[in-house]
């Protein structure tokens, strides 16, 4: 069993990324979309939490939402996989369930 | 794979409708089946044909209509959400004594059972919006 959690809020606005990380089990995937991609930035107060989650979970961020917020690849935490919408679809297929954390 | 999509937000206010559109389009282009797109809460506002954005802005409603025309998508507006927000088709106009309709082509108004059915019939239900 694997789950995909989508997170669409900045970790500096709401605690949905933190909640998604806390509720997710090892082996699950977390995809940051919309304002959720702010959680993918290096050097923020959320970085340690995200890196901690990456020990046994996969973390992804949607490229077009990063670009819309001027977050270039070199500002993204290493290990976060940047994907496009086709990659989003693949993630939905690869996991048993999709849960939106808002 | 058979997918369904739920849209909970209106256009131009929240990114959800844009995200849902791009996701749905990508899934269809990859050859997946999209069983239904269900518009709930303010999401029903994606289905009014009276929307007229500035010419240099994306037309969220027409974009959904064109996608539905191309792929024969089933796009459903929740009836209770539609009634509250003044989304009207001919049946609803007659039933509620309204003097006009505003539903865009390719959309239809139906009940929450359609969302439940989509969840049961599809391999995955992907939700956009708060």
- Which residues in chain B are contacts of A64 at CB distance < 8 A? 22
Q: Is the pTM for the entire model greater than 0.95?
A: yes
Q: What is the pLDDT of residues A4-33, one digit of tens each?
A: 999 999 999 999 999 999 999 999 999 999
Structure confidence at residue A47 (pLDDT):
98
List, in order, residues 6 or more apart from A16 with CB less than 8 Å away: A7, A8, A9, A36, A101, A102
- Which residues in chain B are contacts of A34 at CB distance < 8 A? 15-16, 19
Give the Cα separation of B25 and B21 in Å (integer).
6
Q: Which domain holds residue A53?
A: 3-101
The 10 Å CB-count burial string (b at 16+, else e) for A7-29 is: bbbbbeebebbbebbeebeeebb
Give how many domains chain A has, as a whole number.
Answer: 1
Structure confidence at residue B21 (pLDDT):
98
Give the Cα separation of B27 and B3 in Å (integer).
8
The CA distances from residue A99 to A30, A92, B19, B77, B113, in Å, are 10, 10, 15, 22, 20
What is the band of A95 on the pLDDT scale with cuts at 50, 70, 90?
Answer: very high
* Phi, psi dihedrals of residue A58, rounded to the nearest 5°: -95, 135
List, in order, residues 6 or more apart from A93 with CB less than 8 Å away: B1, B32, B124
Give the Cα separation of B14 and A35 in Å (integer).
10
* CA angle in degrees (0–180, nearest 5) for B29-B34-B38: 130
**Across the interface, do A8 and B25 touch by the CB < 8 Å criterion?**
no
Which structure tokens are listed for B4? 């369904």
Structure confidence at residue A53 (pLDDT):
97
Structure confidence at residue B60 (pLDDT):
98
Q: Is B43 a catalytic residue?
A: no
Q: What is the pLDDT of residues A30-80, one digit of tens each?
A: 999 999 999 999 999 999 999 999 999 999 999 999 999 999 999 999 999
- Which residues in chain B are contacts of A85 at CB distance < 8 A? 22-23, 25-26
Structure confidence at residue B57 (pLDDT):
98
Whether ipTM tops 0.95, in short, is yes
Query: What residue ranges of chain B have pLDDT lower than 70?
Result: none
- Given the residues B77, B78, B82, B118, select the one marked as catalytic: B78
What is the band of A1 on the pLDDT scale with cuts at 50, 70, 90?
Answer: confident
List, in order, residues 6 or more apart from B48 with CB less than 8 Å away: B61, B87, B102, B103, B104
Q: What is the CATH number of the domain that holds A68?
A: 3.40.1260.10
């Amino acid at each position: 069993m694997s789950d995909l959690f989508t997170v669409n809020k900045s970790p500096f606005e709401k605690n949905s990324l933190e909640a998604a990380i806390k509720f997710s089990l090892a082996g699950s995937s977390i995809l940051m979309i919309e304002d959720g991609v702010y959680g993918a930035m290096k050097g923020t107060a959320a970085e340690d939490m995200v890196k901690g989650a990456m020990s046994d979970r996969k973390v992804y961020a949607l490229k077009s939402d990063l670009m819309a917020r001027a977050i270039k690849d070199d500002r993204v935490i290493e290990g976060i996989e940047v994907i496009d919408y086709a990659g989003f679809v693949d993630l939905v297929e690869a996991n048993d369930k999709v849960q939106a954390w808002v | 794979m058979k997918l369904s999509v739920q849209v909970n937000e209106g256009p131009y206010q929240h990114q959800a409708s844009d995200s849902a559109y791009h996701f749905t389009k990508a899934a269809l282009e990859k050859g997946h089946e999209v069983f239904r797109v269900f518009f709930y809460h303010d999401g029903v506002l994606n289905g009014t044909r009276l929307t007229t954005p500035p010419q240099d802005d994306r037309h969220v409603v027409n974009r959904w209509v064109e996608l539905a025309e191309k792929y024969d998508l089933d796009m459903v507006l929740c009836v209770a959400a539609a009634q509250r927000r003044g989304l009207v088709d001919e049946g609803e106009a007659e039933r509620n004594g309204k003097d006009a309709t505003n539903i865009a082509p390719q959309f239809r108004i139906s009940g929450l059972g359609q969302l439940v059915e989509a969840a049961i019939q599809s391999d995955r239900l992907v939700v956009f919006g708060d």
